Amino acid sequence: MGKPFDDIRENLCEINETIAAACALAGRPADEVTLMGVTKTVTPDRINMAIAAGVSLIGENRVQEYLDKRSALVPAIPGGVIEAHLIGHLQTNKVSKIVGTVSMIQSVDSLRVAAAISNRSMQLGIVTDVLAEVNIGMEYTKFGVDSAAVEELIAQMNEFSGVRVRGLMAIPPIFDSEYEKRAIFSKLYKLFIDIRSKNRDNRDIDVLSMGMSGDYAEAVAEGSTMVRVGSALFGSRM
């Protein structure tokens, strides 16, 4: 019988190999892609094992779940715990709890939420990195701004002193075929490049967070700079 948590080490190795292979096929350096371990429902001991195995960034969906786990995570960088992002939907009444405890909020889909983040950040004397969440498949069951409206949202967010827009995030529809997966990721990548190149206010835009356990190889092939991997790393959620 293997040692406890050998599965995480083995899974991480496989994920890194898949990312490297996808980058090689796309003619990209593997270090252009950041791996996030998505820790929704994952216990702190298993998160700490992933950190020990080499995961340097985690993503949590729920504000309270992250706050409850935070103190149990081992230090991974000098003076603090593992780098963490919020990737789940954020309500304005939770903004004051999460700002200052994560290094990025990836799920900003309205000017109201962005304003709340900016206001709280200024109260704390910080600037919070954010991503604009795009509903790239225009699915009514998912959060995110329509792709046609995201450029205007970013332009408005650039006026806030307490946030720095770093790029885009999306949760695309579930497709079976590689062609469909790559087509939707390609669409988001083109949007990302278009927004980034339009004016100097977008000079900080360098993060394209797309790709999860079932499609991260296709996302990397189409230009993703950050993949959010949960079940492929930690196993199926209970």
Instruction: Write out the residue range of the structural domain in which residue 102 sits.
Output: 6-231
Q: Whose structure tokens read 């704390």?
A: 124
Looking at the chain, the whole-number percentage of residues with pLDDT higher than 70 is: 91
Residue 138 in domain: yes
Looking at the chain, the whole-number percentage of residues with pLDDT higher than 90 is: 78
Residue 137 in domain: yes
Residue 238 in domain: no
Residue 93 in domain: yes
Residue 1 in domain: no
What does pTM read for this prediction?
0.93
Mean pLDDT of 65-91: 82
Of 7-11, 34-38, 99-103, 177-181, the poorest mean pLDDT is in 177-181
Kindly report the CATH number assigned to the domain that includes residue 199. Answer: 3.20.20.10
Where residue 238 falls among pLDDT bands split at 50, 70, 90? low
Q: Give residue 199's pLDDT.
A: 67
Mean pLDDT of 10-35: 96
Residue 95 in domain: yes
Q: Give residue 6's pLDDT.
A: 85
Q: Give residue 1's pLDDT.
A: 42
Each residue of 119-162: pLDDT tens digit?
A: 999 999 999 999 999 988 666 767 889 999 999 999 999 999 99
Residue 41's φ and ψ, nearest 5 degrees, are: 65, 5
Burial 130-147 (b: 16+ CB within 10 A, else e): bbbbbbbbeeeebbbbeb
Domain count, the chain: 1
Residue 237 in domain: no
Each residue of 86-125: pLDDT tens digit?
A: 999 999 999 999 999 999 999 999 999 999 999 999 999 9
The gap between the terminal CA atoms of the chain, to the nearest Å, is 22
Residue 236 in domain: no
What does the mean pLDDT of the chain come to? 91
Mean pLDDT of 10-33: 96
